[in-house]
Homo-oligomer: A and B are copies of this chain.
Amino acid sequence: MTRIIEKHEIAALLQDVDVIGAMEEGFRAYSAGQVLVPPVAEMLFDDPPGEVHIKYGCITGDDVYAVKIASGFPGNTGRGLPTGNGIVLLFDRATGAVKAVFLDEGLLTDIRTAAAGALAGRYFAPRAVRRIGICGAGTQGRLQLEQLKQVTDCRDVLIYDHHRENSGRFQREMTQKGYRVAAVEAPAEMAAACNLIVTATPATVPLFRQGDIKPGTHITAVGSDTPRKNELAPALLAEADRIAVDSMEQARYRGEVYRAVKEGVLDASRVRELGYLAGHPGERRGHADEITVADLTGVAVQDIQIAKAVFSRIDT
């Protein structure tokens, strides 16, 4: 029988799931070459504009495979709807039967993306997080901050958003959740005060440049998932002490590392995958004053892992 799982049920089930652990296990399998992840399928629409991505794959030895259809329609904002939407499907690897339909409206993508950010934080964040900086006061900015609870006790936050009213809303909401939040007018202000920064914006002009970032800072960039988007200046990556990505394969086509390698300032051989770092703790943050960067574009193995994890909570 196919299980149909609605968004509110998924949200409830997620309370009992170690998503960061599921991501770590998934990235480990991915970097070990144990995941079948064919190229992302996509549809790009013009009028009204929108994009649909289909990510799908299977971990070797698993009894399921997963397919996720995720969309982004900018016009939704004007309708009072979230930009992102989607659905995740889990199939029986032996028969092709549909085991589960997650009507998650993009929730699983949002959570798995934030959990990957937290995993990068676990590997790279400074031991003493002074203040957390979040660029982009959207859903992902909020979730990144919340997932970081698993990584640091720090609750002092600076928020930057291109639209000041978004920062205000973020400030009010996250204050209610126990954070001390102040808004800044420019990313550079954040860089001066925060040593753990997450960028979750659709920026096409870098938020941070070389020299903005102080020693001892970690930055996770999750906004740039297309070749055009760009949150961090290539020179910033060039000067970073350690750089991680979720997928070297995808970093060849999109994201911050793609930019920096393309511009000739970054040697791709310096970059490590999260799944590699899972098995090599010695290559995570070293000295306290290192500058580290994680550039995440999102991999199907994350969708497989979060779908499996939630499904396992139903089955038991």
Contacts and interface: CB of A to CB of B under 8 A. Distances in A.
A95 interface: yes
A73 to B, nearest CB: 5
A86 interface: yes
Interface of A is mostly: strand
B67 A95 contact: no
Interface stretch (A38-46, A150-158, A197-205): A38-46
Contacts of A14: none
B48 A38 contact: no
A179 interface: no
A50 interface: yes
B96 A86 contact: yes
Interface residue tally on A, bucketed by range: 35 or more
B69 A43 contact: no
A94 B48 contact: yes
B94 A73 contact: yes
A296 interface: no
Contacts of A52: 56, 65, 91, 96
B95 A103 contact: no
Contacts of A181: none
Interface string A71-89: 1110110010100111101
A93 B45 contact: yes
Contacts of A67: 54, 69
Contacts of A95: 73, 75-76, 79, 81, 85
A48 B93 CA distance: 8
Contact of A75 (B42, B43, B94): B94
6 contacts: A38-B43, A41-B41, A50-B96, A81-B97, A87-B89, A87-B101
Given A41-B56, A76-B95, 8 more contacts: A36-B43, A36-B45, A45-B93, A50-B93, A52-B65, A52-B91, A75-B94, A76-B96
